[in-house]
Structure 1
């Protein structure tokens, strides 16, 4: 069920019966010369809506701008400061709890959001207002990702390229896939660490065009496999979470 598409009287029965919501989150940032800047939020929204359609759970509007200052050197990248992002997502989540939601799945497709969504989840759980869990699509299907791509990449690589080829193929610059690979980098590069310390902050420190992996290995067919497998994982997560007793999801008492 898509919240934004419903009139308020039609949402009342859902809040009486259910207590779970899906919140898709992504980013608007560079994804190399071949992918749209909306790659992450397109993926997050597509997965959340599909899971909501299959399970009947509520899907909220998408948070399209995330924590992305590490891509700021590339044209058009948008970001919000991390404290602002955390406060915004927490406020949005508390809005849901006002209507009776007490468990939330942050359907996330941007690595830069992960730590901050975990912090928001901790705040909500510590206050015993809700149990909110961060879900990153590719982390739910690591074996499939490894099986499909010999040279994967953490950003703008073949897995994200394949997903967008499947979900919004008209937004992919197919004639730039080779360029993306040739001017990009394989991750991790040799100079990413020094004596155990991570020495980079921005994507451009390691890749002149901001992306990693072999984009030429991506196809829409592989993207469909990724999408279906990740959606199955998300649906199973929702059902698992809905079946838990709220008290069992809260922090354990002091020993």
Structure 2
């Protein structure tokens, strides 16, 4: 049930039986030359809506702008500070908690909001005894599609085969495949250290954080090769992801916390 498409009487009736709300948190940012800047936003909004319908749970409108500073070198990227994301979500959830919601499940699609969401969930726990949780859209997509990609290097990387396939299946008007091209090797910042993302490098058997911009290591602002993307693969990934996330949301809605006895 999309809360913005129903009246307050409908939502009150829902709250008489359930207290779970799904909150999609999106992003508007560059996605290479072949994907519109609203690709993550649309994916997150639609998948949250479908998950809510399948699980019979309330879904709020999407929070559209995130902390996307690592992409600001590219036109069209929108970004706000992490504290802004946290404050916005906290005030929004305080309003929902005041109406009786007690299970807050964030449908997240961007790493910039991980810290703010955790902080908000812990606030809701302390103030209302609520249950707060998060599920990451792209993590689920990676897990349910493992081994199905043609691309050998970073198939689930930024604007690579995975997300391009999903966009082709669900939002083809946001895809410009005639402009798609493979990214080159990611620039290493020093010998023996391999760049993975804007916040991670690997050294030997483990890794550590380096907070770079994507333009520091990826010339065209993408990773992997989107040219192998297909709508057929994207639809399969979508269906598996929605199925998993709906089950996760349903299980989440029944969770309760209890203090361990000393």
TM-score by structure 1 length?
0.89
Q: Give the Å deviation of 1:102.
A: 0.4
Quick check: 2:177–2:227 contact (8 Å CA) kept in 1?
no
In the other structure, the counterpart of 1:60 is: 60
Q: Give the Å deviation of 1:18.
A: 0.7
Q: Give the Å deviation of 1:154.
A: 2.8
* DSSP 3-state at the match of 1:240: helix
User: What does 1:37-52 correspond to in 2, within 5 Å?
Assistant: 37-52=37-52
**Relative to structure 2, which stretch is displaced further, 160-169 or 145-154?**
145-154
In the other structure, the counterpart of 1:29 is: 29
In the other structure, the counterpart of 1:100 is: 100
Q: Give the Å deviation of 1:210.
A: 1.0
Matched, 1:214 2:229: no
Which one has a larger percent helix, Structure 1 or Structure 2? 1
* DSSP 3-state at the match of 1:64: coil
In the other structure, the counterpart of 1:231 is: 242
Matching residue within 172, 177, 183 for 1:174: 177
**Relative to structure 2, which stretch is displaced further, 71-80 or 104-113?**
104-113
TM-superposition CA deviations, 1:50-84 (whole Å, max 9, x none): 01111221010001100101101000111110011
Q: Give the Å deviation of 1:145.
A: 3.0
TM-superposition CA deviations, 1:164-217 (whole Å, max 9, x none): 111111210010112xx14x5459885534876544421111111211011112
**Relative to structure 2, which stretch is displaced further, 113-122 or 96-105?**
113-122
Quick check: 1:153–1:214 contact (8 Å CA) kept in 2?
no
Aligned pair in 2 of structure 1 residues 205, 127: CA closer, same or farther (>3 Å)?
same
In the other structure, the counterpart of 2:84 is: 84
Runs (4+) off by over 6 Å? none
Quick check: 1:82–1:116 contact (8 Å CA) kept in 2?
yes
Quick check: 1:154–1:187 contact (8 Å CA) kept in 2?
no
How many residues matched? 248
* DSSP 3-state at the match of 2:253: helix
Q: Give the Å deviation of 1:127.
A: 2.8
TM-superposition CA deviations, 1:101-159 (whole Å, max 9, x none): 10111111112222321222222223344212111022224343331223314311211
Matched, 1:109 2:112: no
**What RMSD over aligned residues (CA atoms) do the two structures have, in Å?**
2.2
Structure 2 gaps of 5+ residues are 196-200
TM-score by structure 2 length?
0.87
In the other structure, the counterpart of 1:162 is: 165
Aligned pair in 2 of structure 1 residues 229, 216: CA closer, same or farther (>3 Å)?
same
In the alignment, the residues of structure 1 paired with residue 202 and residue 140 of structure 2 have an alpha-carbon distance, to the nearest angstrom, of: 30
